Amino acid sequence: MIGADGEQLGIYSASEALRKAEEAGLDLVEIAPQAKPPVCKIIDYGEFQYEQQKREKIQKKKQHVTVLKEIRLHPNTDKHDFDFKARHAEKFLNEGNKVKVSVIFKGRELAYKEHGKNLLIRFIESLEEVSNVEHEIKFEGRTMHAILAPIKVKGKKK
């Protein structure tokens, strides 16, 4: 058992520990239930909960969730549309998100897989200074896709 001021009081039975907490006018809180014997502390439970929520909020704020954004192209995508989508992909990568670039084939476009592959290669090359290829070009069903991950730059803040 640990006292209200942080000092170790020793090993007590549960009833004796509760009695000591009541004498102090505080609550008995189990801090480490998996320890042998379990560790309890005499503290104000409301304050304990508040501090715990504050710690969790700070941890949540520091963590960054990586999102996978998708850019869809077709084998006959024009230059302007290609550049527009490349700028969007660059913005996503600069924000720290991954980008999945897909070329979707419709109908008879499936006969021209090399057009789609060349388009994907050109897209990857246009973003090579801000991204790494995480998954190489892969063909599944009627789509050909690759996944790009942002390059990690040390000392750069978002």
pLDDT in tens, 85-98: 999 999 999 988 99
30 shares its domain with 82: no
Which residue, 129, 133, 117, is CA-closest to 153?
A: 129
Domain range enclosing 24: 14-61
21 shares its domain with 93: no
The mean of the pLDDT values for the chain is: 88
**Residues 6 or more apart whose Cβ sits within 8 Å of residue 17:** 1, 28, 40
pLDDT value at residue 154: 52
Q: What is the dihedral of CA 52, 53, 56, 57, to 10 degrees?
A: -150
Give domain status of residue 123, yes or no.
yes
- Mean pLDDT confidence for 57-67: 83
Give domain status of residue 157, yes or no.
no
- Mean pLDDT confidence for 110-123: 91
Using a cut of 0.75, tell me whether the model's pTM lies above it: no
pLDDT value at residue 158: 47
CATH, residue 33: 3.10.20.80
pLDDT value at residue 10: 86
Domain count, the chain: 2
84 shares its domain with 36: no
The DSSP secondary-structure symbol of 151 reads: P
84 shares its domain with 126: yes
C-alpha to C-alpha distance for 114 and 75, rounded to whole angstroms: 9
45 shares its domain with 110: no
37 shares its domain with 80: no
pLDDT value at residue 142: 92
